[in-house]
Amino acid sequence: MRICKKILSSALIIVFLLSSLSTALPINAEIIEGVGDYKVNWKLDTETGTIYFSGNGSISRFGEWNKYQNSIKKVIVGSDINKIWEGAFSYFTNLSEVEIPDTLTDIGFMAFYDTPFFNSLPVKNHQICLGDRLLGVEDFCGSITVNQDIKHICGGAFSDNVYITNITIPNGVVSIGDIAFEYCTVKNMVIPDSVTSIGEGAFRFCPYLKTVTLSKNITRIETDAFWGCNELESMVIPDGVTTIEYWAFCGCDNLESIYIPSSVSLIREDAFEECPKLTIKCYENSYAHQYAVENGIPYRLLDVSVKEKGMQFIIDNLEAVKSIRYAYGEYNNERGIKYGEDAVSHSGKTLRNKGNSCTLQFPKPGLVSIVITYNDGSRDFYKYDVIKSEPTVTREGNEITFGNLTDLKVLRYAKGEYESSYDIKRAEGAVAISGKTLDSDAYTVTLEPGTYTFCVQYNDESYNYYTFDFKG
């Protein structure tokens, strides 16, 4: 650690000689500078109580500048700082102003707790926010929904909230910080696909957490992520995850099954320590298969493979499948799916009569719960957010342009008003543009005056209908 003090001697001499200017600067005013342990430079102006942080590291709670905490009134964080640690400025009794760049999203638990600045932050729906970052939650009981304008749930935001029974995270949240839900009493969690990172210990010691649906866009299960979640029974690791870190599921006494995709290429040796009931579901010769063998963990090799595609869910290798069910909504057991909204059931025997692969074609967008039951009685559960493929449409006069046609099956149109693609196809003068022959992801046509109906059909069987009136 290096500290240097630059006494403003010239200014002090002038003050001493010209007593009429004696109020311009305190006699003991000085600039104090230092270099922290985490690639951070800091500079404290004791006259104004302002401390500046620069560099490309993180601000810890152990920097030598902490000895001046009672003098610090304002914190300015440089644009390259990447993290503020847990409790870094907590209990700074005179800290009333903080400037943080929008790029800094990793703010630790209680980083500004019990300071005039923290106490002045806006509270909306019991949530304490700093811009689009959720710093914490007031004492609250029951169900809570994260504000729609929140992009980042900071470290420890919900930690120790023992009376919150349900937390809804809206699509649009991008990151979840370290120990964000530690010791929380929620039972079920759904992490939307907008989330790309979940911090260390995010769900550590959640005593009643039973089910978690993870974002499909994360790539890591971080250290301690689910440590001590004793009620957690099963888990599906999303395809695309590459790493399961230290003690990620340590002490999950009732964790019976976990699906690990072939994308995982690193699992730490003690990731599943003290999980006595665990069976790993994986594919033959995958890293997870090798890991289970080497660490003496029971495993079951999966015969089926699944693929998500817009309005479709494709299942291959049906030899061991007894049945497939799905229903709209979120369900965590086969009974819920069986009696759920728009429930559909398929016999494995019937499906195999048509081949060794099946495609579930969904009629509308929305969250679908799927269960595949095998002949040995085991089950795999999936949650799929069905998304309809849609073109972009722009119009200028009698010219119409459809974009986003990369996965187009066929674009049809004809003069007149029609209710189906079949009717358009049979109409006089109908035009059909095949996606196989389209040489770009857009199609433009200029039409004569009249009323026209268009159907844009994608390979996932998403149908989009448009009617336009073109004047002369």
**pLDDT per residue over 188-223, tens digit each?**
999 999 999 999 999 999 999 999 999 989 999 999
pLDDT attached to residue 127: 96
CA dist., res. 14 & res. 33, Å (int):
24
pLDDT per position as a tens digit, 51-100: 999 999 999 988 888 899 999 999 999 999 999 999 999 999 999 999 99
Look over the chain and give the mean of its residue pLDDT values, rounded to a whole number.
89
pLDDT per position as a tens digit, 255-292: 999 989 889 999 999 999 999 999 998 888 899 999 99
pLDDT attached to residue 1: 34
By mean pLDDT, which of 24-38, 303-317, 365-379 is the weakest? 24-38
CA dist., res. 325 & res. 370, Å (int):
6
Concatenated DSSP letters of 109-158: TTTTTTSHHHHTS-EETTEEEETTEEEEE-S--EEEE--TT--EE-TTTT
Per-residue confidence at 29, pLDDT binned at 50, 70, 90? low
Which residues, listed in sequence order, are joined to residue 211 by a DSSP beta bridge? 188
| For range 15-19, the mean pLDDT | 31
pLDDT attached to residue 284: 83
CA dist., res. 390 & res. 403, Å (int):
9
As a whole-number percent, the residues of the chain with pLDDT over 70 amount to 93
Cα–Cα separations (whole angstroms), residue 409 to 226, 303, 399, 442, 463? 43, 30, 22, 13, 10
Query: What DSSP designation does 238 have?
Result: P
pLDDT per position as a tens digit, 305-345: 888 889 999 998 887 788 999 999 999 889 999 999 999 99
Long-range contacts of 351-359 (CB under 8 A, 24+ apart): 351/318, 351/321, 351/324, 352/318, 352/319, 352/321, 356/316, 356/317, 356/318, 356/319, 357/314, 357/315, 357/316, 357/317, 357/318, 358/314, 358/315, 358/318, 358/324, 359/312, 359/313, 359/314, 359/315
Q: What is the pTM of this model?
A: 0.63
> Which residue would you say has higher pLDDT here, 195 or 139?
195
Tell me the backbone φ, ψ of residue 427, rounded to 5 degrees: -70, 150
| For range 414-440, the mean pLDDT | 95
pLDDT attached to residue 236: 86
CA dist., res. 90 & res. 72, Å (int):
12
pLDDT attached to residue 420: 95
pLDDT at 232 over 50: yes
pLDDT at 234 over 80: yes
pLDDT attached to residue 196: 97
pLDDT attached to residue 143: 94
Per-residue confidence at 380, pLDDT binned at 50, 70, 90? confident
Contact 348, 322 (CB under 8 A): yes
